[in-house]
Structure 1
């Protein structure tokens, strides 16, 4: 499947270059052919690489943000008690870690051809992420969550529930030579100390404006924001206040599977509640 295929990297991509060209001409789309073949050509010098990220973070409108905006709109001379009341709505702190399989722990930008061409993932030769998708997604998620709660690193000694997000898919899917979309899928697991509270799988996709790496990067940014919005909604009401279980000795506070290079299965699962 995908993870077995992508580890072969650019060598497999170059070996399958003729197959890609055949598929493209089968559609008879000369413009689309030029775009995709250019993306799959032999690697160029690093100085010629185009670099992409997910763009500036988009802050979700939360209850706390709305309260703070309302307080600001009331005027700079609003009573201190009103400002304090808005601040008191901050949610419980949360430890956050984002895991990813090895193929997503690099700067490669992956895309998939239609299912008729086989279940293979390929990489753009002349385009890269600024850093790994796991890091890009994680930084964006922490920025979104920090709107209404304190976000801590997995190893922080402070007592707090923990959220582990396993990034399972982060790629551009081609439906034809001229149409594609970005797909992001994650598995989210919420812990209170060693206790598993809930788990869910979230997925979103967004159309790409252009059939190239730039279009794929923008589509993946949109899909990432959609998944993170789902995640924040899923967390609502599920994150408990820090309990006695999170005040155990340091070795008991470690968040399971904190490695960013690969994800490991959860020992037990619980349905979304």
Structure 2
């Protein structure tokens, strides 16, 4: 029997056979090759991975960066803008572990105490590494856009302390509260020159238990130890149980403006008398989660 005639040239047959083999055996091979390619494309689309630090971020002076949670019930997400994993029921001070994005103004902070909790939106917290405040001594201060601003604008004080969130050689940057929501929402930011502030305008926000511990140290200065109690008060570490080395304390002091470091304490038992008076006439400036805080003058705390 005569075989049927070949209707296609040999090269065409080779191509057809190769395509058949590819369709038969090449599906898995194509999938194995394309999977990492598509994974790379997905990574490019989603951008860099979100950071997952296990230790708090540090500012100059090896001091942990912190935030104040501005309201109760703040949602915590697994990634910036991701799924809600829990809620922070109480207003707290928290350590900052990561920020997002990695450059520019943060839109999210990864926060926690002793270990990360998760990500919160930037408008839910106040970046505030210390307890330093400008106390409302007098009726107004001059608020500037930057330390070199020669004009500035007058800011009327309403009795609410202004958190010091940053500082330069002769000025501090403060958060000005929304008058309708003090301690809950920031209206604006500005710089205040230290040379224009009245005496005792620089203070620290303390709880009553912290005040009593400072009073005990003032009465028994030989038990103060190191670091100085004033540094501990600035950092909110008077009775926190957290440790601070002498090197860390000195590193932090070196970052502060000279005029702030040189604020003299009260001599001849003056600290005991003033701290005792503050305790006797305790008048909190703010209370949240059942804990009251008052801004007291930095000069009243021993250990300059």
Which structure: greater helix fraction? 1
TM-score with structure 2 setting the length: 0.23
**Bigger Rg, structure 1 or 2:** 2
TM-score with structure 1 setting the length: 0.25
